[in-house]
Amino acid sequence: MIKYVLRTLWRHRTRTLLTLTGTAVAMFVYCLVGSVQEGLHRLTTGVDADRSLIVFQENRFCPTSSRLPEDYARKIKNVPGVREVMPIQVWTNNCRASLDIVVFNGANPEQIQKTRPLKLTSGDWKRFSSQRDAAIVGRNVAQRRGLRSGDTFSIGDISVQVAGIFESMVPSEENLIYTHLAFLQYTQGLDAAGRVTQHEVYLTHDADADRVAAEIDEALRAGSVATKTRRKGAFQASTLADLVDLIGFAHWLGYACVGLVLSLVATTTVMSVQDRIKEYAVLQTIGVRPLHTMGLVLAESTLLSLAGGVFGTALAMSMLSLGGFAMGAEGATIAFRPSVSLTMSATIVSLIVGVMSGLAPAIQAATVPIVDALRQP
């Protein structure tokens, strides 16, 4: 019977190909939307997002507008529950939403190596630590910009020597460029000597994050610059507030893609059944049971949906893996990465849609009156 289904699909090659193509495109878009949603979820949840804090200037948004004294780190360190404080100078080429955002994070190289889950794929830490204008570049940025170890990278007023390329277990990290704190502070045009954009605070295992955040703001209240301290995940969600709304709306685009696949496959299957209504009547006369007839139609619709869905999903995963795409705003980035869960989700959706789209035509083929069907021209 499998041969029968395949021959049926091959008999109307053009229609089958158009359906497969439409299904592949719809599932391709479904995977892209799902990747963006997963990237946002990874950025705003997890241990790193809940167990570290960001101290930022109060009522400021873009990194270029936040200027905190670097010596705030000493006061923050004295707050109970604080394990380590890392002053960070952030520079970005675009504070608005962008698909090709470049973000520099300037910090102490020893603290970067200690606190960030980075692994160099080329270059070495020693050169990065010893050379003031050296930088290590995230894999995604290197892919988009065509950078390798030893290259010189310039953007705006900043020019750095690429000391290494790194990958990370945290996808958003691969969209960053790390350099020395002093380098960014004293780069001509930035005028940030003694100032940093933010302080990243790492907590002890038993510390209450919300309590520590409140105590940090209280300890710095008498300082020259007012602060607002939040969990890292909440800070990034607030920073990307406009994008969060847009991504939430894109969620409906994913549902629309599923509806499109359902409509395409169902239409093709109905047309196929109508074209071969006599065949199904003949199958009944030679002893093929109604359930077997339903199985033939369901196999046809499921195969169409699954084949198109798998192709579209594979294409999307390949593009996400090779492209190094990211979306960012105000110094925070969302990485678009392929994942096993997204692949499984798209495959299961294709399978379910294939079965659903074939139900009505399958019932029609199984219950067709033999005499009436054979009389049709």
Q: What is the pLDDT of residues 301-343, one digit of tens each?
A: 888 899 999 999 999 999 888 877 777 767 677 778 888 999 9
Task: Find, among 241, 242, 234, the residue nearest to 55 by Cα.
Answer: 234
Residues 6+ apart with CB under 8 A from 364: 270, 273
User: What pLDDT shows up at residue 358?
Assistant: 86
User: Which comes out higher in pLDDT, residue 248 or 84?
Assistant: 84
User: What pLDDT shows up at residue 312?
Assistant: 94
pLDDT tens, 246-272?
777 777 888 888 888 888 888 888 887
Residues 6+ apart with CB under 8 A from 89: 104, 105, 106, 107, 181, 184, 185, 190, 192, 195, 196, 197
User: What pLDDT shows up at residue 188?
Assistant: 67
pLDDT tens, 104-138?
999 999 999 998 889 999 998 999 999 999 999 99
Q: ∠125-186-225 over CA atoms, to 5°? A: 105
pLDDT tens, 135-162?
999 988 898 888 999 999 998 778 999 9
User: Which comes out higher in pLDDT, residue 276 or 257?
Assistant: 257
**pLDDT level of residue 290 (50, 70, 90 thresholds):** confident
pLDDT tens, 39-68?
877 777 766 677 899 999 988 777 778 889
User: What pLDDT shows up at residue 198?
Assistant: 92
Residue 311 to residues 30, 143, 205, Cα–Cα distance (Å): 13, 24, 45
pLDDT tens, 174-208?
889 999 999 988 876 667 788 999 999 999 988 99
d(CA 190, CA 108): 18
The pLDDT mean for the chain works out to 85
Whether the CB-CB separation of 361 and 276 falls below 8 Å is answered with: no
Total-model pTM = 0.76
Task: Find, among 88, 117, 101, 136, the residue nearest to 240 by Cα.
Answer: 101
Residues 6+ apart with CB under 8 A from 245: none
> Beta-carbon neighbour count of residue 241 at 10 Å?
12
- Average pLDDT over every residue of 222-236: 88
- Average pLDDT over every residue of 13-26: 87
Residues 6+ apart with CB under 8 A from 164: 120, 121, 122, 123, 124, 125, 127, 128, 136, 137, 149
Is residue 362 over pLDDT 90?
A: no
Whether the CB-CB separation of 349 and 258 falls below 8 Å is answered with: yes
> Beta-carbon neighbour count of residue 36 at 10 Å?
21
Is residue 87 over pLDDT 70?
A: yes
Look up residue 152 and give its amino acid. Answer: T
3-state SS assignment for residue 168: strand
User: What pLDDT shows up at residue 322?
Assistant: 81
Backbone angles phi, psi at 119, to 5 degrees: -135, 120
**Residue indicated by tokens 């000597």:** 193
